[in-house]
């Protein structure tokens, strides 16, 4: 503890508050300004080097600048320094004693740090009755992932219901939905290439892709079935003709989406870093979806109807 000597302070014409403020600035520092780091304002605190005062004897000889009298004094001249036992503070959660260990992330992603922490904890043998739980930002992220997974599942189910209503065919709806879901693989591929972890923003991009990509499959298969009804009864010829006609709208939709998200993916502009994973996931998903829409979906549609060359009656 540090107790200001009132008599010693009065000899220099100082109040106890002035001495306390000077000691506080020397030991704990004072906020001088702020600097921008990404989207956060980081306070800049001015203080003496911490290693210079890691012992009580060093603290006693610590120079203290007193602005009101424009003098520098040693701390033991105006204050009494003593070592006393600290008070024990025990935290409880759900009637159990807990010890919270906090840390801040710097220059690494949350997933990589959590992986290292789990690997380290795996080698620690805990005594009976002691458990370790990772919380904080990681726990919030896992909860958000669970909620987004439910939203994604509900969105896929809703899309499948709309496809059934549109085509009145379980096989056709399943083919389009399968191609749409497989386009999500492009998100994981491009995130792995650019070394960006899967976060909430990228997960939102996956949900958006399901709604955007399904339109490509609808355009292609709908024209193929229209061609079957009007001009031919051969599935292969109908798919080839649909590909020729619909390739331009599919390419225009894909390229417009990719170029629209490109500035955000390159983090151009203030605050774009927050939505960069969403833009990158959209670009990766749309790129893969373009090939799936033009190759995989027609191939699957032909495969499920290969034993029945004429599907004219089905599409009527």
- Give the CATH number, domain containing residue 27: 3.30.2090.10
pLDDT of 51 over the 70 cut? no
> Could you read off the pLDDT of 268-306 as tens digits, one per residue?
666 566 778 888 888 888 888 888 888 888 888 888 877
Q: What is the pLDDT of residue 48?
A: 72
Kindly state whether residues 75 and 149 are assigned to the same domain.
no
Domain end point (choices 40, 59, 81): 81
Mean pLDDT of 225-244: 81
Residue 273 is assigned to a structural domain of this protein: yes
Q: Determine the Cα–Cα distance for residues 104 and 140; give it in Å rounded to an integer.
A: 15
Mean pLDDT of 130-139: 84
pLDDT > 60? residue 316: no
Q: CATH number of the domain that 253 lies in?
A: 1.20.1640.10
Residues 76 and 148 in one domain: no
- Asked if the structure places residue 130 within a domain, the reply is no
Residues 39 and 183 in one domain: no
Shared-domain flag, residues 302 and 163:
yes
Whether 8 and 76 have beta carbons less than 8 Å apart is answered as no
pLDDT of 4 over the 50 cut? yes
**Residue where a domain stops, chosen among 53, 81, 109:** 81
d(CA 6, CA 19): 10
Here the contacts of 167-175 (C-beta below 8 Å, separation 24 or greater) are: 167/221, 167/222, 167/225, 169/314, 171/304, 171/305, 172/221, 172/225, 172/301, 175/217, 175/221, 175/297, 175/300, 175/301, 175/304
Do 157 and 286 fall within a single domain? Answer: yes
Which string of b and e fits 141-172 if b means at least 16 CB within 10 Å? beeeeeeeeeebeebbeebbeebeeebebeeb
Query: What pLDDT is attached to residue 52?
Result: 63
The boundaries of the domain holding residue 158 are 141-315
- The rounded distance, in Å, linking the Cα atoms of 245 and 253 is 14
Residues 210-222 have pLDDT tens digits of 877 888 888 888 8
**How many domains does the chain contain in total?**
2
Domain boundary among 35, 60, 81: 81
Shared domain for 35 and 167, answered yes or no, is: no
Give the integer Cα–Cα distance in Å for 28 and 172: 69
Q: Say whether both 189 and 295 belong to one domain.
A: yes
**Would you say residue 276 lies in a domain?**
yes
Residue 307, pLDDT score? 63
Query: What's residue 15's pLDDT?
Result: 78
Dihedral, CA of residue 247, residue 221, residue 297 and residue 239, to nearest 10: -70
The answer as to whether 89 is a domain residue is: no
242: in domain? yes
Residue 127 inside a domain? The answer is no
What is the predicted pLDDT for the residue at 310?
46
Q: What is the pTM of this model?
A: 0.59
Read off the pLDDT band of 46 (50, 70, 90): confident
Residue 92 lies in a domain: no
Whether residue 284 is found in the same domain as residue 174: yes
Instruction: At 162, list the tokens.
Output: 């709309």
Residues 146 and 252 in one domain: yes
165 and 28 belong to one structural domain: no
Per-residue pLDDT at 146: 86
pLDDT, residue 308, reads: 58
- The mean per-residue pLDDT over the stretch 64-74 comes to 73
Is the same domain home to 168 and 275?
yes
184 and 59 in a common domain: no
């Amino acid at each position: 503890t540090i107790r200001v000597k009132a008599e010693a302070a009065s000899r220099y014409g100082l109040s106890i508050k002035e001495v306390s403020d000077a000691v506080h600035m020397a030991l704990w520092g004072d906020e001088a300004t702020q600097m921008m780091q990404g989207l956060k304002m980081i306070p800049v605190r001015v203080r003496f080097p911490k290693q210079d005062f890691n012992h009580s004897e060093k603290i006693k000889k610590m120079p203290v600048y007193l602005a009101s009298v424009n003098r520098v004094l040693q701390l033991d001249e105006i204050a009494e320094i003593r070592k006393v036992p600290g008070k024990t503070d025990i935290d409880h959660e759900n009637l159990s004693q807990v010890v919270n260990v906090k840390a801040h992330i710097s220059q690494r992603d949350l997933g990589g740090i959590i992986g290292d922490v789990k690997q380290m904890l795996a080698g620690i043998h805990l005594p009976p009755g002691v458990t370790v739980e990772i919380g904080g930002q990681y726990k919030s992220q896992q909860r958000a992932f669970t909620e987004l997974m439910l939203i994604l599942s509900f969105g896929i189910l809703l899309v499948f219901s709309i496809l059934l209503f549109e085509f009145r065919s379980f096989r056709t709806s399943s083919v389009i939905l399968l191609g749409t879901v497989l386009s999500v693989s492009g998100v994981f591929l491009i995130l792995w290439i650019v070394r960006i972890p899967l976060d909430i923003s990228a997960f939102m991009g996956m949900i958006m892709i399901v709604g955007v990509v399904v339109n490509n499959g609808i355009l292609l298969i709908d024209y193929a079935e229209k061609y079957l009804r009007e001009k031919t009864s051969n599935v292969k010829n109908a798919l080839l003709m649909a590909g020729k006609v619909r390739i331009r709208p599919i390419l225009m939709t894909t390229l417009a989406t990719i170029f629209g998200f490109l500035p955000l993916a390159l983090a151009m502009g203030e605050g774009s870093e927050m939505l960069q994973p969403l833009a990158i996931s959209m670009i990766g998903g749309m790129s893969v979806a373009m090939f799936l829409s033009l190759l995989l979906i027609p191939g699957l549609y032909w495969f499920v109807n290969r034993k029945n060359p004429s599907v004219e009656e089905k599409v009527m």
